[in-house]
Amino acid sequence: MTKEELAKKKGIQIKETTQTAAEALITTTTNQEPEVKAEPKKTEEKPNTKVTPPKAPTKIKTPNAGRPKGKPSTKISLNVPDEYLEIVNIAAGVNYKGNTSSYIVSLIEKDIEANGTIYQQIKDLTT
């Protein structure tokens, strides 16, 4: 099916010009009428006649209960070559009770301590 036949089937008028595809898309008109949406029916608001009993005091959470909260963090996807992954797993097992994320975060922290001023200078140049 040619583009002319397709356009005729879809009800699109094609103008013979030397426009780019984006320009043609913007200026193309259709023969379809826009849909008219009916407004949703409004419901009557009834006054609140319920009497709510006073709330019981809530339990105070102890700060040491549950999993300890660390710094706010974001989950990322990380690709690690297989040859490094074995070493990362060993190092995490020995030093971080098997927590690979903690091990990688510690490596990032060490790098920021060593090169943080350079990274800040680069950030300042780009802003």
Report residue 12: phi and psi, to 5°.
Answer: -105, 135
Contact criterion met (CB below 8 Å) for 31 and 7: no
| Chain segment 1-46, per-residue pLDDT in tens | 666 776 677 676 665 655 555 554 455 555 555 566 666 666 666 6
Contact criterion met (CB below 8 Å) for 104 and 88: yes
| Chain segment 59-118, per-residue pLDDT in tens | 655 555 555 667 788 888 889 899 999 999 999 999 999 999 999 999 999 999 999 999
pLDDT of residue 36: 63
Rounded distance, CA 94 to CA 83, Å?
18
Closest CA to 100 of 110, 90, 109, 108: 90
Helix (H, G, I), strand (E, B) or coil at 125: helix
* Claim: this prediction has a pTM higher than 0.75: no
- Chain length of the chain: 127
pLDDT of residue 91: 93
